Amino acid sequence: MCGIVGYIGNKEAQDVLLKGLSRLEYRGYDSAGVAIVRGTKIEFDKKQGKLKTLISDLKDAPIKGTLGIGHTRWATHGIPNEVNAHPHLDCKKRLAVVHNGIIENYQELKKSLKREGHKFLSETDTEVIAHLIEKFYKGDLEAAVFKTLKLLKGTYAIAVVHKNEPDKLVGARADSPLIIGVGKGENFLASDAPAVLDYTKEVIFMDNHEVVTLTRDGVSIKDFHGRKVHKKPSKIKWDISQAEKAGYKHFMLKEIFEQGDILSKIIDERVANDRISFGELKISERAFKGFKNIAIVACGTAYHAGLTGKYMLEELVRIPSWIDTSSEFRYRDPMVDKDTLVIIVSQSGETADSLAALREARAKGATVLGICNVLGSTISREADGVIYTHAGPEIAVASTKAYTAQLAIFYLLTLYLAKLRKTISDKRYDYFMSEFKRVPGLVNDLLSEYKPEYNALEAYAEGFKRYYHQKHNKSTFLYLARNINYPNALEGALKLKEISYISAEGYPAGEMKHGPIALIDENPWVVCIAVQSKTYDKMLSNIQEIKARGGIVIGIATEGDREIMHQNINYLIEVPKVDELFSPLLVVIPLQLLAYYVAREFGYDIDQPRNLAKSVTVE
Ligand code: M6R
C-alpha cells in the first residue's frame, strides 16, 4: 500500500532514495517517483510502472542534492500513470509531498482549494496535502504541516520537503506506518525498516498522531498538539541480507525454502525442557486461565492460519473459539467482552482492517493478543500482548513462511493453554510436543525433494498449462480437504489465484455435494488433500465422486499410503507421516510450490503480482 522514504544527510539523496524504494517495492509497484531539493529548486522525476523504469531514467539524468523524498505506489485514487504518481507538488513547485494512506475528505478540500485558486494536476487524494501546506506556509514548514494535519481526515504517513528549507525533512503519521532511521550526520524516514537498513540499524517507530522534523543532526518528535515526545531508538536485530534473494530466482521460492529452519528456530526459542514460554507476552497466566471464549481475527493468509488455530484450540483447549475476517468483524458490533481473548493475526502488523478490529475489540473490553511478524508494527504495539513469529522479513507478496510461522505459534499457544487450563493429559502433551519437534526436520526432508533443477511439481505445472490451452483457457482449480486441513485448501487456492490469476476455489470436501460438484467435468483440476486422518475414508469417497464425473485429481497423501494408489488419481504428491494435528505444516509446502511453478510456467511476475501489495494499509 505505497512505500515512502525520505533522506537528509550528506550523501546523494537519489541513491539513498532509490535503494530505499527498492526495499519497499513489495508495498506497491505501479509507479514510482522522487523529489530532491537541488540548490534553490525542487527537481522531481516520476514514472509509471516498476521502479526500474524510474531508476533507468535517473541514471541518464541524475538529480543532485542531499535532501529528498521518494514513493512507490499502489494506486487508490486515480489510475497508475505519471501524473498520479507521487511526489505531488504545490502550484509553484516549492514543496513536494509523498503519502501512504487515504485522505477521506479530499474532495471537499479540493473544491475549496480550487475556489481559492489552487491548480490541481492529478486525480489523487494526496495532492490536497501539497496545496494545503502551500496555503499555510509562512516560512516554517513544520508549522504549515501542523495546520494542514488539522484538516485531514483519513489515514496517512507523509514526508514533505520545501525548497526554502534545505535543512529540514518533515514527516507525520496517522494510522499508516512510519519509522525514523537515525544515522550519524544523516537521518531517514521510511514506511518500513528494510528501507534504511543499508545505512543504520537504529530505528524509532513513530506512533500515531506524531510529527517529526529531521535535520542532518537532529530528530524532533511532537504529538499533534505540538508537545515534545522523547523516544529512544531501537536496534534492528536482523541483517539486510535476509531481505535479499540469496541465489533464488524469486523471493517466494527463497521464503518457501526457509520454512524448515524457521520452524526449528521458533521451537528452539519458545520451548525449553518441553515447557513453552512466550518471553515478550504481557498477558498473565491468570488472565489466560479466565477467558471464556476466543475470537480470532485476520485477513487473507493470516485468516487461514487463524482458522487452523481455531481447530486446534477447540480440540485441545476445549474453549469456544470463532474466527472472522477483520473487515467483517470491525463493522458488525461483534460479541466480545472482558471474558474474550481476541487474537489478531497479521504478518505486517499494519493491515488497516485488522488494526481497526483490534481497536474495536479493545474498546469493548476484550484482551487482544497480536501474532505478528514485523517488530514494532502498530498491531504489535497496540495489542495487550504480542507473540512475534520471528520469520524474518517476508518480501514476496504471496505469503508463505509467515503462514507456517503463524501456524507454529498457534500450535505452541494451544499446547500452552491446554496445559495451563488442564485440558490435556501429560501423556498427550508429551506426545504432541515430540511430534511437533519432528516437524522442522520433516519439512526440510520434503523440501529437499523439490530442490533439484526439475521436479514432479514442475512437471504437473507444465501439464496443467498444456491442458489449460487445450481446453481454451477454461481450466480452473478446486482444492478440497476436511477438518484441520480445510484451511490449507483455502490457502492453496489463494496462493494459486494471487500469483497465477487462475480461478481457484477452496472448499470443505464434505460440502462438495451441496454445490461445487456441479463444476466437475473434465475442466477443473481438483487438488484433494487426503493425508492419513480421521476423515481419510471420506476423502477417498470424494475422490471417487470427482473421478466418476471426469475430473482431474491431484492427490496429496501420506508417504507409503497404498490405498490412494487404487483411486485412479492423475497425479500424486506425498508428504511425510506425522500426527494429523501437525499435517497442515507439511501439506502446505507442495501447495505453495505448485502455485509457484504454475505461475512460473505462465511467465508471471511471481513476487509482485498484479493489483496486489504486501501490506494493505487502506480499507
Ligand atoms: O500483513 P497481514 O498478515 O495482515 O496481511 C494479510 C493479507 O493481506 C495477506 O495475507 C494477503 O492475503 C497475502 N497476499 C496472501 O498471500
DSSP symbols for 230-266: --PPEEP-S-GGGGS-TT-SSHHHHHHHTHHHHHHHH
Per-residue pLDDT reduced to its tens digit, 366-386: 999 999 998 888 899 999 999
Per-residue pLDDT reduced to its tens digit, 6-16: 999 999 999 99
Statement to judge: residues 584 and 484 lie in one domain = yes
Atom of ligand 1 nearest to the CA of 348: 1
Q: What is the mean pLDDT of the chain?
A: 94
Statement to judge: residues 21 and 114 lie in one domain = yes
Residue with C-alpha cell 541514471? 59
Whether 339 maps to a domain, the answer reads yes
Residue 76 pLDDT more than 80?
yes
Statement to judge: residues 517 and 549 lie in one domain = yes
Statement to judge: residues 227 and 256 lie in one domain = no
Q: If you measure from the C-alpha of residue 510 to the centroid of ligand 1, how many angstroms do you get, rounded to a whole number?
A: 27
| Mean pLDDT value of segment 218-236 | 95
- Our count of domains for the chain comes to 3
Helix axes 127-136, 106-115, angle to 10 degrees: 50
Ligand 1 shell residues, CB under 6 Å? 299-302, 346-348, 351, 354, 397-399, 494, 498, 612, 615-616
Q: Is the backbone peptide bond immediately before 87 cis, with ω within 30 degrees of 0?
A: yes
614 is catalytic: yes
Statement to judge: residues 473 and 390 lie in one domain = no
Statement to judge: residues 566 and 494 lie in one domain = yes
- % of the chain exceeding 70 in pLDDT: 100
By mean pLDDT, which of 148-152, 158-162, 212-216, 347-351 is the weakest? 347-351
Instruction: Give the side-chain half-sphere CA count within 13 A for 445.
Output: 14
Statement to judge: residues 103 and 148 lie in one domain = yes
Statement to judge: residues 416 and 560 lie in one domain = no
The protein residue whose alpha carbon is closest to atom 14 in ligand 1 is: 398
Whether 141 maps to a domain, the answer reads yes
How far apart are the C-alpha atoms of 574 and 424, rounded to whole Å? Answer: 31
Give the pLDDT score at 77: 85
Per-residue pLDDT reduced to its tens digit, 283-331: 999 999 999 999 999 999 999 999 999 999 999 999 999 999 999 998 9
Among candidate residues 236, 262, 277, the one where a domain is terminated: 236
Ligand 1: which of 27, 250, 351, 409 to mutate, most ligand atoms within 8 Å of CB? 351
Statement to judge: residues 145 and 64 lie in one domain = yes
How far apart are the C-alpha atoms of 428 and 435, rounded to whole Å? Answer: 11
pTM listed for this prediction = 0.85
Here the CATH number for the domain that contains residue 63 is 3.60.20.10
| Mean pLDDT value of segment 595-617 | 91
Whether 617 maps to a domain, the answer reads no
Residue 243 pLDDT more than 90?
no
Residue 619 pLDDT more than 80?
no
Whether 8 maps to a domain, the answer reads yes
Give the pLDDT score at 265: 96
Statement to judge: residues 470 and 569 lie in one domain = yes
Whether 609 maps to a domain, the answer reads no
Statement to judge: residues 483 and 524 lie in one domain = yes
Whether 97 maps to a domain, the answer reads yes
DSSP 3-state percent helix, strand, coil across the chain (nearest 5): 40, 25, 35
Strand blocks (E) in 26-84:
31-38, 41-48, 67-73
Residue 310 structural domain:
248-448
**Nearest Cα to Cα of residue 412 among 334, 343, 332:** 343
First to last CA, the chain: 10
Give the pLDDT score at 452: 67
**Nearest Cα to Cα of residue 44 among 54, 34, 31, 53:** 34
Here the CATH number for the domain that contains residue 468 is 3.40.50.10490
Give the pLDDT score at 438: 98
Give the pLDDT score at 78: 86
Per-residue pLDDT reduced to its tens digit, 467-508: 999 988 888 999 999 999 999 999 999 999 999 999 999 999
| Mean pLDDT value of segment 389-410 | 96
How far apart are the C-alpha atoms of 13 and 70, rounded to whole Å? Answer: 10
Atom of ligand 1 nearest to the CA of 397: 14
**pLDDT tier, 25 (very low <50, low <70, confident <90, very high otherwise):** confident
Among candidate residues 178, 213, 236, the one where a domain is terminated: 236
Per-residue pLDDT reduced to its tens digit, 27-57: 888 899 999 999 899 999 999 999 999 999 9
Instruction: Give the side-chain half-sphere CA count within 13 A for 135.
Output: 21
Residue 541 pLDDT more than 70?
yes
Q: Which of 47, 168, 495, 614 is catalytic?
A: 614
Per-residue pLDDT reduced to its tens digit, 543-596: 999 999 999 999 999 999 989 988 889 999 999 999 999 999 999 999 999 999
Sort 423 into a burial class: Cβ within 10 Å, 0-12 / 13-18 / 19+: middle
Statement to judge: residues 221 and 265 lie in one domain = no
Whether 363 maps to a domain, the answer reads yes
Whether 395 maps to a domain, the answer reads yes
Give the pLDDT score at 241: 72
Among candidate residues 189, 216, 236, the one where a domain is terminated: 236
